[in-house]
């Protein structure tokens, strides 16, 4: 149940290296399913007509939607070993632009830094991943740092 030195070395070698970009085509169903999973009844994420009246031209994605684009995949690529525990430490999001159906969002990511600490059962890693999200017009949609705790 601990992370070995080989895996630590491999992760450290990836610090600062930009991974292959991930591309997501945003569909209405994704946005609605996401709002339903939160149990968020705000019509901005669900009701086309309401979104038009509110000046958004239709539904838009709720605030936290962008944080899930690519994150699960990025974590899986980082740690695929079921014996290793991955917990979430912190999130920092800067939000610039709404995401709407039809957008194609490109997520670029890299490990920003890794801190190592000796825990009671072995080594713990604090891995901070940096993500940049752009839409099909190359507009910056959001930027984010996610810190995960791996042991």
Partner 1 sequence: MAVGKQLYYEDVVEGSNITQLIKQPTTTQLVMWAGASGDYNAIHYDKDYALKQGLPGVIVHGQLAGAFLGQMLTDWVGDKGNISKLSLSYKGKNFPGEALTCQGKVIKKYIEENQHLVTLRIWAENPGEEKTLTGTAVVRLPSKSDT
Contact between 1 and partner 1 per CB under 8 A = yes
Question: In terms of CB distance, is 13 or 57 closer to partner 1?
Answer: 57
- Shortest Å, Cβ 114 to partner 1: 18
Question: In terms of CB distance, is 62 or 109 closer to partner 1?
Answer: 62
Contact between 6 and partner 1 per CB under 8 A = no
CA separation for the pair 12, 128 (Å, rounded): 11
Count of CB atoms situated within 10 Å of the CB of 56: 14
Contact between 37 and partner 1 per CB under 8 A = yes
Question: In terms of CB distance, is 68 or 136 closer to partner 1?
Answer: 68
Contact between 128 and partner 1 per CB under 8 A = no
Binding track, positions 76-105, relative to partner 1; x by CB under 8 A? x-----x--xxxxxxxxxxx--x-------
Contact between 43 and partner 1 per CB under 8 A = yes
CA separation for the pair 107, 68 (Å, rounded): 11
Contact between 2 and partner 1 per CB under 8 A = no
Q: Which residue has the tokens 């085509």?
A: 25
Point out which residues bind partner 1 (CB under 8 A): 1, 30, 33-34, 36-40, 42-44, 54-55, 62-64, 67-68, 71-73, 75-76, 82, 85-95, 98
């Amino acid at each position: 149940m601990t992370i070995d030195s080989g895996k630590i070395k491999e992760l450290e070698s990836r610090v600062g290296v930009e991974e292959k970009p991930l591309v997501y085509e945003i569909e209405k169903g994704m946005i609605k399913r996401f709002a339903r999973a939160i149990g968020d009844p705000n019509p901005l994420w669900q009701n086309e007509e309401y979104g038009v009246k509110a000046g958004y031209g239709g539904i838009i994605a709720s605030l936290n939607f962008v944080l899930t684009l690519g994150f699960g995949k990025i974590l899986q690529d980082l740690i695929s070993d079921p014996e290793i525990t991955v917990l979430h430490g912190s999130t920092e999001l800067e939000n610039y632009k709404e995401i709407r159906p039809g957008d194609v969002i490109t997520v670029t990511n890299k490990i920003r830094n890794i801190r190592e600490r000796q825990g009671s059962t072995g080594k713990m890693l604090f891995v901070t991943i940096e993500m940049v999200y752009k839409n099909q017009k190359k507009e910056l949609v959001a930027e984010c740092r996610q810190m995960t705790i791996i042991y």
